[in-house]
Amino acid sequence: MYNFDFVKPTTLQDAIAALSRDEAMPLAGGQTLIPSMKQRLAAPSVLVSLTGIPELKGVCRADDGAVCIGAATTHAEIARETAAIYPAIAALAGGIGDPAVRNRGTIGGSLANNDPSACWPAGVLGSGATIVTNTRQIAADDFFQGMFTTALEPGEIITEIRFPVPEAAAYAKFEQPASRFALTGAFVAKFADGVRVAITGASEGGVFRWREAEEALGASFSPEAVDGLSVSADGMIGDLHGTPEYRANLVRVMTRRAVARAQ
Amino acid sequence: MPQVTMTVNGRQVMREVEGRTLLVQFLREGLGLTGTHVGCDTSQCGACVVHVDGKAVKSCTMLAAEADGAEVTTIEGVTPADGGMNPVQKAFQDHHGLQCGFCTPGMVMTATALLAENPRPSPQEIRDALEGNICRCTGYHNIVKAILAASGQDVSALAAE
């Protein structure tokens, strides 16, 4: 990889200032960015580490009951800290990659990258979470804008993610065994006013809500409720791991498994 | 160039590094600790696993500059000071938990981190913990057996295959 200046600020303000430098990029856990830089897919001139800023770390409970997770909190820490308060999110975090990856990778890094096969976009969109940045709050429905694309402006930093806690929820993924990313994953969350279903790994447009299933599950929150549904293979990812038709089928299968797990 | 200071296997070291220096390069090329291996260099294989502040990480996917101020333990650091082997290493030897041995440093570091967190893991928990450690000799069965033995559990239920 090409060389760069490395800076590790200890406050959000200093991080924002450092990110205004020419060709600066933020570095969270680095589990995607460092491999991308090795391949020269990314070549920042300045890397601004976000791992030394205490206010970006940790899990807490807001007054309204929401689970608030600092953007630089690692997957491993989230798995531990949310086990009692939002088990579906704890299970999702504890199933990402492998233990060593979970000890470095962060929720904010994963969301800012918006890999079409990452787990967090499904958990965040499926929960209807809010992404808080240094300048504003962004609803999950507005945040994800296609493969590797988000609503974030240059220099904007995710500081926190706020998850409303549903009545029942679960995540189910079919893993691509080499990369451990989701070949297809479904996050299902049942709230008092309806059900949300978010699918990752399947679509060329990145994470998306499966509205048809949301409607069917809103009427009857049972695995059988999605049996009669099908998803079009149009726009689904096709690669050596699976055809678009295979992924379209997995959307229903993984949703069904997630609902069964949430019972 | 940034200067980093860290404690590696109990010894404080201070070096100048480039921003792009990976922790594994720092350990191997900077400090001569070549027990930590580079297998895939893409964070898939786990041959480079070391402990940073007690947590297992893939040192090929962490910058040396990010370990500034940290406590780092490599395979060289788990060996008792008087030589010999620690209980995990001994169990790998007793149960033939290695063939070529290339993946072994990473396996031992991952296993040590697992046992620190979960002193009596089930065979399935051991397999889950090893998800990010690849053995090309396909020695997983005996690796699982060795880790089970290192945790003081009975391995007779895991038949030799």
- B32: domain CATH number is 3.10.20.30
Q: Per residue in A105-122, pLDDT tens?
A: 999 999 999 999 999 999
Tell me: do B71 and B118 sit in the same domain.
no
For residue B100, what are the domain limits? Answer: 87-150
- Can you read off the two tokens belonging to residue A198? 């978010």
**Local confidence band at A3 (pLDDT 50, 70, 90 cut-offs):** very high
Q: Is B2 on the interface with A (CB under 8 A)?
A: yes
Torsion of CA B98, B103, B106, B111, to 10 degrees: -30
Task: Report the pLDDT averaged over residues A146-156.
Answer: 95
| Pairing assessment for the beta strands A130-133 and A158-163 based on DSSP bridges | antiparallel
Q: Do residues B48 and B101 both lie within one domain?
A: no
Q: B58 CB near a chain A CB, below 8 Å?
A: yes
- Indicate the residue among B23, B55, B77 that finishes a domain: B77
How many residues are present in chain B? 161
Rounded-to-integer distance, Cα A40 and Cα A23, Å:
14
Q: Tell if the CB–CB gap between A37 and B58 is shorter than 8 Å.
A: no
* Same domain for B104 and B69: no
Q: What pLDDT score does B157 carry?
A: 79
Strand order, beta sheet including A24-27? A5-7, A46-49, A24-27
Per residue in A233-259, is it b (16+ CB within 10 Å) or e — as a string? beebbeeebbebebbbbbbbebbbbbb
Whole-number Cα distances in Å, A112 to A21, A97, A107, A132, B31: 19, 17, 9, 12, 35
Q: What pLDDT is attached to residue B161?
A: 53
Q: What is the pLDDT of residue B160?
A: 57
Residue A144's pLDDT band (boundaries 50, 70, 90)?
very high
- In this structure, the number of other CB atoms found within 10 A of the CB of residue B57 comes to 29
Evaluate whether residue B137 is within a structural domain: yes
Write down the mean pLDDT value for chain A: 97
> Å from B42 to nearest chain A CA?
6
Q: Is the pLDDT of residue A25 over 80?
A: yes
* Nearest Cβ partner for B20 among A1, A31, A104: A1
For residue B82, being part of any structural domain is answered with no
Residue that terminates a domain, selected from B77, B99, B132:
B77
Q: Region A92-101: what's the mean pLDDT? A: 97
Q: B28 in a domain, yes or no?
A: yes
Assess if residue B159 is contained within a domain: no
Residue ranges of chain B whose pLDDT lies below 70: 159-161
Distance from CA of B56 to the nearest CA of A (A): 5
Residue of chain B minimizing CA distance to A9:
B66
pLDDT value at A202 more than 90: yes
- Angle between helix axes B104-117 and B87-94 (nearest 10 degrees) is 120
Q: Tell me if A103 and B55 make a contact (CB, 8 A cut-off).
A: yes
Cα distances (Å, whole numbers) of residue A225 to A1, A210, A228, A259: 50, 13, 7, 9
Whether A3 and B62 lie within 8 Å, measured CB to CB: no
For A209-254, how does the pLDDT look when each residue is reduced to its tens digit (9 = 90+)? 999 999 999 999 999 999 999 999 999 999 999 999 999 999 999 9
Q: How many domains does chain B have?
A: 2
Residues B101 and B135 placed together within one structural domain of the fold: yes
Look at residues A120, A84, A108 and name the one whose alpha carbon lies nearest to residue A207.
A120
**B93 falls within a domain:** yes
Of B18, B42, B132, the CB nearest to A100: B132
Chain centroid offset of residue A243 CA = 23
Q: Do A99 and B113 touch (CB under 8 A)?
A: yes
- Taken in order of first residue, the domains within chain A and their CATH numbers are 5-163 (3.30.465.10), 168-262 (3.30.390.50)
pLDDT in the model for residue B138: 75
pLDDT at B24: 98
Domain of B118, CATH number, reads 1.10.150.120
pLDDT given at position B83? 83
* A150 three-class SS: strand
Please say whether the beta carbons of B110 and B144 come within 8 A. Answer: no
In a domain, B95, yes or no: yes
The whole-angstrom separation of Cα B51 and Cα B92 is 19
Asked if A3's CB is within 8 angstroms of B20's CB, the reply is yes
What pLDDT was estimated at residue B76?
A: 96
Q: Among the three residues B77, B107, B132, which one is the final residue of a domain in this structure?
A: B77
Contact: A99, B44; criterion CB under 8 Å: no
By C-alpha distance, which of B71, B13, B2 is closest to A49? B2
A179 vs B contacts (CB less than 8 Å): 44
Q: Answer left, alpha or beta for residue B101, where phi above 0 means left and psi between -120 and 50 means alpha.
A: left
**Residue ranges of E strands in chain A:** 5-7, 24-27, 46-49, 59-61, 67-70, 130-133, 137-139, 158-163, 168-175, 182-191, 194-200, 208-209
- The answer to whether position B161 is within a domain reads no
How many Cα neighbours within 13 Å face the side chain of B21? 22
Which residues of chain B does A35 touch, with a Cβ-Cβ cutoff of 8 Å?
A: 42-43, 61
What's CA A206's distance to the chain center, in Å? 11
The answer to whether the CB atoms of B129 and A99 lie below 8 A apart is yes
Least CB-CB distance to B2: which of A6, A101, A180? A6
- Residues of A whose CB is below 8 A from B42: 35, 38
Of the partner residues A5, A76, A104, the one whose CB lies closest to the CB of residue B62:
A104
Indicate whether B70 and B125 sit together in one domain. no
